[in-house]
Amino acid sequence: MNYAEMLEKVATASGFIAALDQSGGSTPKALRGYGVEEDAYTNEEEMFALIHDMRTRIITAPSFSGDKVLGAILFERTMDGDAGGKTVPTALQDRGVVPFLKVDKGLEDEADGVQLMKPIAGLDQLLQRAKAKGVFGTKKRSVINQASPSGIAAIVKQQFEVAEQILANGLMPIIEPEVNIKSADRAQSDLILRDEILKALNNVSGDHKVMLKLSIPAEAGTFDGLINHPRVLRVVALSGGYARPEACAELAKNKGMIASFSRALLEDLRHHMTADEFDAALASAIDEIYAASAT
């Protein structure tokens, strides 16, 4: 797929985006969920080799195809690895799945109720390397813990500034200001965030569009204005700690919003499964998330 074909698919096709981008800090938890305890590896390289094996198994499973999976978000090491004898972005494209790359370097400590992104050193070089490998877009995450108008405004400002840098490099940015679904004033945060994003969308350069990855709102329909905005290519939802059945039920209440789940996609997969067992569990998760995204 070339960029125009990937753009068309992400904009119009039914399906969801798989998040396979656990980084160094979240990898041990992801491996434990897969049934691999920390005593199975002795250093970071062995840990990343194990998580890459898991991701390769997912990407090459029969059920993981572009029929229901629109895209997959990759960790940088995964982008640079191989799957089934091909580079991972090529392996995904050959299955009709659009590759994205996580580009943030983690979060700053909380201040003013939010966690901004850490500076992203060498971003232009990373973006050009990703583009050369056939990556379509990027994802970068911030976190909102309290309904702080000034904190949320700072998050949106930072996200859109980095989005402009990504657009200038010819890639599609996914802007992810996650609202902590456990926060007491979550619904108020949703409203403040929506209004800040609406203002920022009016200043996106040229005729560019961006994507948004948002927590499923506390009140269904809160993000309708974003879903229908002419500068938004697609709005995707993170599972935010919900188990898959609840995440899917909440997502289905928000027409036009599709999933971009990580743990909720992977929660039934175990390393000891046979190939058939693994693919059956993955297919069941894909079907459930696809159905919730198609409502």
Q: Can you tell me the distance from the alpha carbon of 237 to that of 252, in angstroms, rounded to the nearest whole number?
A: 11
Task: Judge residue 275's burial from the number of C-beta atoms within 10 Å of its C-beta, 0-12 exposed, 13-18 middle, 19 or more buried.
Answer: exposed
DSSP assignments along 13-77, one per residue:
-S-EEEEE---TTTHHHHHHHTT--GGG-SSHHHHHHHHHHHHHHHHTSTT-STTTEEEEEE-HH
Q: Can you tell me the distance from the alpha carbon of 59 to that of 34, in angstroms, rounded to the nearest whole number?
A: 15
Report which residue type is found at 219.
Answer: E
β-pair partners for 115: 143
Instruction: List the one residue out of 47, 14, 44 whose CA is nearest residue 31.
Output: 47
* Residue with tokens 């939802």, as numbered in its chain: 237
**Residues that are catalytic:** 176, 213
* Residue with tokens 């969920």, as numbered in its chain: 33
Q: Can you tell me the distance from the alpha carbon of 89 to that of 271, in angstroms, rounded to the nearest whole number?
A: 23
Handedness of CA 11, 167, 114, 149 (dihedral sign): negative
For residue 75, give both structure tokens.
Answer: 């960790």
Classify each residue of 125-161 as buried b or exposed e, where b means 16 or more C-beta atoms within 10 Å of its C-beta.
ebbeebbebbbbbbbbbbbbbbbbeebbbbbbebbbe
